[in-house]
Each structure stands twice: as structure tokens, then as C-alpha cells.
Structure 1
Amino acid sequence: MAPISLSALNITFLGTASAQPSTTRNHSSLALRLGGDVWLFDCGEATQHQIQKSAVKMGKISKIFITHTHGDHIFGLVPLLASRLNGAGGTAEGVEDPRVQALPTHWTGVIEIYGPPGTRDYVRSSLACTHTILGGPYVVHELHAPSSPSPSASFVIPPNPAELPGGRNIPVDEEIGTWRHIFTDEFVQVSAAPIAHSVPCVGYVVEEKPVPGKMDPKLYIPHLKRTKTPMSVLSQLQQGGEVILSDGTVLEGPRRRPGRKIVILGDTYDAGDIMANLATDADVLIHEATNAHLPGVDTNTKGEYTYEGVEERSRSRGHSTPQVAGRFATRVRAKKLYLNHFSARYAGNDDVDEKAGAVMAAIRELAETEFKGPVICARDLMSVDI
């Protein structure tokens, strides 16, 4: 695969619902476009339908990161794999499907899936029970903690012919509590940390590696002209390199600066200290806000509830309110907070419906009581450049 260029970095929210989808919100999934590649984070039911409505290209998907194995975050994974990898249900009358004849050693374009324990077995069992034959390869990497099932327990179900060997059981770094750099290349690295929910759940941090600082060519050109040095060395200086001119003058490019950091959390009632350390100075924080107390705005708000009562009720179910999200955004010094994973009672057509707009504005204002930076309530198919 060609190296990823991060000059273009875009997030498309494919689904922003919690638990049940609605007519205006699909199950959880978002697409991160990095140059020419697409990475999915969670893959709820009907994610592939949402992709067809968006500018995201199915054929560009190369990695899928699952935060936890609740159905509203994973039920769309195997159908999407079947579409992405040219899956089929076999042939009749004993005719061998050409997909079966493809040797894994000859396959290219592997789809990499990352997730908590159970992700591998879920994919295997779904493919087996539906007799699905894939025309391309995939591999599953699981993030294991000391409390996770032993790795051998993940191989009860035989691997699908399309599953390549080499799927890792990645141990957590017990000293710092994170899965550091589960993926890294020349431009970007991905780490993960556990967050508190009702089942094992993780959040992911996508971090661009340091990028060249801003350069003013006018500071260098007089020296290059004086020594008749080719202007092509400007590209070397732009990358932070050093150039020694013929008269001994040393030119140094601008220092590299930190790249962009995107934090994508799964469901949580408390993202915790470990994630906070990993998420510090996030350019973008994506945090759930499943429930909110909206007296006078949302007709479904019960009179006996309070802000504190709704937060405690949400916490008991493993979820957050906008205020919880705002507090975490403040804690990690996030530059921008996107709220998502909303209860089905909060319609996602707030851009065209006045009542829905009032509800989402009230939810945003609750987060703003705890976080003074920009807060955006995500809606399905919202696309933002980072």
C-alpha cells in the first residue's frame, strides 16, 4: 500500500444513534479519511447503507476499529466485510466458487480489524453460520488485558479461509494501562486505552506524527542565490533538514511541530485517568452524550428527574450526559468537542426541524457549562475536515 498522506484528514459521522436506530439516526459508526485510505470506527447495523449515502468510498476501507462488542457497534461488521471483500453464498450443484480457489498467499489489500476480545470469534461465527465466502483477506487483532479470556479461548471456532494468520492478541502495557501504537507507519500512529462501560470497551487515539513547521522561503533564498545553491534544497529545509552551503553557512529548516490528534471514544460513563493521559491536547474529541435532562425543551423529560438524577441513571447504564463529556473535554484540553451516540428520542434532523434543533441546542449548551471550547452535536452524514 502506498504511504498515507495526511494533508487531507476528514471525519464523516455515518451513525450517531445509541441502542436503537431511528428514522434520523443510524447505529454507531464513523469514517476517518486519511489521504486515500478510509478507516472505520465501529460498524453498527446498516453502516454500508450509510456509506452509500456519503462521500466515503467502500473500496478505500483498509482498517476497522471496534470499541466494544455491543450489537449497535458491531452488527454491521460482517455484512460490510462481505460487500467490501466481494463475498457470496457459494454455488449450486457442486460447482466450486472461484473465491475458494484464491490462495491467501496471493491475496493483497488485507482488511485489518482491531477490537476487544470476542471480535475474532464474532466474525468467524457470523461468516460460518451464513456460509459466506469472501473474495479477499482480512485479519483480526484483539486488545487483551489481564482480565481477558486466555488467547486459546479465541480459537474455538475455526478460522474462515479468508482470515489470514498473523492476527495478534495485543497485550496491554500493564505499567501504563494502554495499548500503545497498535498501528504505526511513517505518518500516523494509533493507540488505545480502556474506558468504563458495562462491558469491556476502549477508546482510540489517532495521532499524526510531527509535521514540518511553517517555513518562510525569503529567509533562505538570499543565501542560496549567493552561493549558487539549487533552489531544490528548499524541500529538504521544509522537512526540517539541514543544508551546508559551499561557503560553510549552515541553514536549518523550521522545527517540526506536533501533528493532529483525534480521540474517538466508545460508550463510557467515565473515560478515566488512563485515557485522559493519552488524549491530552486532542485537536478533536468525540465523546458520547446518550442522555440529557431537558426540562421545558424535550417533552419526554420526566418532571421528577434532575440533572444529577439523569447523570446517575446514565452512569448506571454505562453512559454519559453532555456535562460528563464537557468535563472530560476540559480535562484533556481538547480544542473541539463533538457529541454523538444520542438516545433515539433526540432526532438527528436538527438542521431542518425546529423542534429537533431546539433539543440539540439545549444538549450543546449543557456541554458548554463544563467546556468553553467549540461543541458540535454530530448528525448522520455530517462531514468535517480536520
Structure 2
Amino acid sequence: MSTITAVNITILGSASAQPSSTRNHSSLALRLDGDVWLFDCGEATQHQIQKSSVKMGKIQKIFITHTHGEPLPITHMHEILKKFATLGDHIFGLLPVLAGRLNGAGGMIEGIDDPRAQAPPEDYQPLEIYGPLGTRAYVRHGLTYTHTLLGAPYVVHELRLPTDPQNGDYTELAPHAYERPGRNIAQASDGLWHDIYKDKLVAVSAAPILHSVPCVGYVVNELPVPGKIDPKKYIPELKRTKAPMSVMGRLQQGESVTLSDGTVLHGPPRKPGRKIVILGDTYDPSPIASISEDACVLIHEATNAHLPGIDPNTKVSDTYEIVEERARSRGHSTPQMAGAFAKRIRARKLVLNHFSARYPGDDDVDENARRIMDRIRELAEGTFGGDVVCARDLMSFDVGPRKDGDLMR
């Protein structure tokens, strides 16, 4: 396959710190044709997957934006629990998803022969996990101390900051039997993590974004795709070839073809592919701006909003400035802040996400919820000026190929 045909985003959870009856903890699924990549994996993500059209068996990669907790060396289980006890709304669902995806099970009675008690063959392709410092230790300790056996391997790659240890696994616990050695990825001199994953069709880069703890934003870039071709332009030359359809196929991919008489035919120049920017929690994502420009879709949190006359929980003494300052002090954003960043990077579409539990997620059926979410959307539109959507659990939408004029430059 030379291009990605279908790109789809499914919101599995759109809540912030606390889930509600209508919003689950943070997670979204990005589908690239048949493959599924998860971004964050909050509590009950496995349950949300079962409610959606996302197939558990198709999950190939999981990207974690942040873990919460103080970055202390982890050597014992009580320390890892202490580290993550503050808040794990972006990672607490990771272990259940791993066990479900990789055919996990509890420890077996001694003497019973179970292949999951042995390491898998080396030719098995591992499920890949990317995340900040501590992700590998969290997974290793969780699987080890729950005596979880897996049926396929996994690997954890960590994005290390300059203040982080650059080597080692951040724990003295031995690797899980099904764990493959992962990379510790250092930042480049520009502060970015370039091409942490790349194949012939897509590349992923990342950057630290500002939150109350170290946090990461991810940029998924479809590599340049074939431009629009006018077959009539090539008809006279193609008539002189023995395999016109083969030549046309190569031209459609942007290649140059030399005919037997020396004539060189040039396919149309390739054009930028789709770009999807997925941010974790943040009050200022400026460090990722340079690689986010002209995004087809920007996923940006909007945890808090000032909604006088609409949200009954709005304090009489509050102003927008007070709400923004409160959000910033906790490492979060308002709809206006999200809209301003979307405008800055010239995004085509802004999806607001990670809402406070006070904002209901059933605006498709409840009139009061609709008024609240419509106002949140309008606030973001006021600073963005473009297409804004408020995320709702199990919402799913396609990201179409770029069209001429998509780029605003």
C-alpha cells in the first residue's frame, strides 16, 4: 500500500480528573486503515472499546501523554502506588488493555503447562507503548505484582527530558517475561522528539507541553501523498509504451518514468499528507507549535469554562479572568485558550476534549447539556474562527485527505 486510505478518530473518554455518568476517563483511538493507535488509556478504556467499533485486536501502539506523580526512583510496589496515587486519569486503564490485547491471564498453578508462562518467540511483533519517564516501570510493576501472564510481547519506549536519567529502566525490578527492551529517547537540541516512530506512510513526533507535571503532545504526520494527476496530459506518450497502465500507475505515485526513446515523464509533485495533533493536559502547548502548523485536526483540552447564566455551578463572583487563572494554576485550559492555539497553528478543525465532570457529555439527547456544550464551543470559536467540535464519548469521525487550499499559507 502506497497511501493511507482511511483515517478515523474515535473518542473513548472525554473527562478530566474525575469521570462522570456521561464521560469516561481520557482515551482516543486513531485508526489508520486497519491499525489502531490509542492515545492515553484512562480507567475503563477497555470497557469503552467494547462499546465502540474499535477492535481490541487491532491495537498496535499506545501513546501516553503523562502519568502524574513525583518523579522518584521506583524500587518497590508501594512507591509506584504512591507515585501514581495523585491522579492517573490518563494511564490507569493501560494494564487492563494490555492484558486484554495480549491474551493476559492470572498466575497458573505450579505444574500446569501454559505457554504464557514462557517468553514468546523472538519473531513476534510486540505491541509498542510510548510515554514519559516512569511508564515502563508502571507497566512492569503492575504486570509483575498482579502475576499477569501475557500471550504476546510488548515494549515501552520512554521520552526522556534532559533532567531525567538518560539510561536505565527507572526501576530495579527485572523485566516482565514478555517485555522487550525499549528505547530511551532523548530530546533533540530544539527540544523536540523527532520521528519517534516512522514507516513508509506515517511519522510521529512529540514535544513537551506545559502542565502541572511533565506532559507530552504528539503529532501524527501522514507522509507526502501523490498529487492530482491529469491522465489526458500523458496519453500521446503512453500510446508509445508496451505497458501504459503500469507507467500511469507509477506516474500517479509521483514518480518519473523514462521511456525507451529517452522521453522523461514526470508525475505530479507530491502534496502534504494529513496531520493530526493530539495534546495531553496543558495550559500552554507553545513548545509543540512549530511542528503542529496547518494541522488537519487539533485535539486540545478545555477543562474549565466561564458559563454565567448557563451552568448553574458557575460562581456569582467568578469572571472569565478568574476562571482562566484558576485553570492555569492547575495546568489546564479554557475553550478560549484552546481556540487561540488552534488559530496560532492554523488548524483546520479543533476538537475540544478533557472536560470537567460538571460539563455533561450527553448533549446529543439532553437539552440542558446541549446549551452548556454549545456555549463552550462558541467560546472557542470566538478566538479560533474555525470549525470547533466538543468531544463526546464514543463520538467517531473521519479525517479526509487534504484538498487544494487546505493550507492557509
TM-score by length of 2: 0.90
The share of aligned pairs that are identical, in percent, is: 69
Which one of the candidate residues 296, 321, 337 is aligned to 1:308? 321
By how many angstroms is 1:246 displaced?
A: 4.0
Deviates more, 1:321-330 or 1:140-149: 140-149
2:263 and 2:123 mapped to 1: Cα distance?
52
Per the alignment, residue 363 of structure 1 pairs with 376
By how many angstroms is 1:109 displaced?
A: 3.0
Q: 1:223 to 1:155 in 2, by over 3 A?
A: same
| Contact 2:137–2:169 (Cα < 8 Å) also in 1 | no
Per the alignment, residue 324 of structure 1 pairs with 337
| Contact 1:107–1:136 (Cα < 8 Å) also in 2 | no
Aligned-CA RMSD value: 1.4
By how many angstroms is 1:154 displaced?
A: 1.1
Q: 1:15 to 1:220 in 2, by over 3 A?
A: same
1:133 and 1:231 mapped to 2: Cα distance?
52
Per the alignment, residue 109 of structure 2 pairs with 92
2:102 and 2:313 mapped to 1: Cα distance?
43
Per the alignment, residue 346 of structure 1 pairs with 359
- Aligned pair 1:258/2:272, yes or no? yes
1:195-238 Cα shifts (integer Å, max 9, x gaps) = 00011100000001000001111111232125565232100000
1:40-98 Cα shifts (integer Å, max 9, x gaps) = 00000000111111111100001000000130000000011001011111222542432
Deviates more, 1:120-129 or 1:178-187: 120-129
1:343-382 Cα shifts (integer Å, max 9, x gaps) = 0111111011110000000000100110011000010111
Q: 1:13 to 1:213 in 2, by over 3 A?
A: same
2:192 and 2:176 mapped to 1: Cα distance?
30
Deviates more, 1:92-101 or 1:121-130: 92-101
Per the alignment, residue 78 of structure 1 pairs with 95
| Contact 1:5–1:35 (Cα < 8 Å) also in 2 | no
2:38 and 2:378 mapped to 1: Cα distance?
29
Which one of the candidate residues 134, 142, 160 is aligned to 1:126? 142
| Contact 1:5–1:36 (Cα < 8 Å) also in 2 | no
1:228 and 1:98 mapped to 2: Cα distance?
55
Per the alignment, residue 287 of structure 1 pairs with 300
Per the alignment, residue 81 of structure 2 pairs with none
Structure 2, unpaired ranges of 5+ = 69-87, 400-409
1:179-206 Cα shifts (integer Å, max 9, x gaps) = 0000000000000000000111000000
| Contact 1:281–1:333 (Cα < 8 Å) also in 2 | yes
1:375 and 1:115 mapped to 2: Cα distance?
28
SS in 2 for 1:128: helix
By how many angstroms is 1:152 displaced?
A: 3.1
Per the alignment, residue 170 of structure 1 pairs with 185
Q: 1:192 to 1:4 in 2, by over 3 A?
A: farther
Per the alignment, residue 43 of structure 1 pairs with 41
TM-score by length of 1: 0.95
1:86-118 Cα shifts (integer Å, max 9, x gaps) = 1111222542432113x3334513100000000
Structure 1, unpaired ranges of 5+ = none
Per the alignment, residue 56 of structure 1 pairs with 54
1:222 and 1:305 mapped to 2: Cα distance?
72
1:241 and 1:383 mapped to 2: Cα distance?
35
1:286 and 1:235 mapped to 2: Cα distance?
36
Which one of the candidate residues 153, 161, 164 is aligned to 2:177? 161
1:68 and 1:227 mapped to 2: Cα distance?
57
Q: Which letter does structure 1 place at the counterpart of 2:45?
A: T
- Aligned pair 1:117/2:133, yes or no? yes
Per the alignment, residue 143 of structure 1 pairs with 159
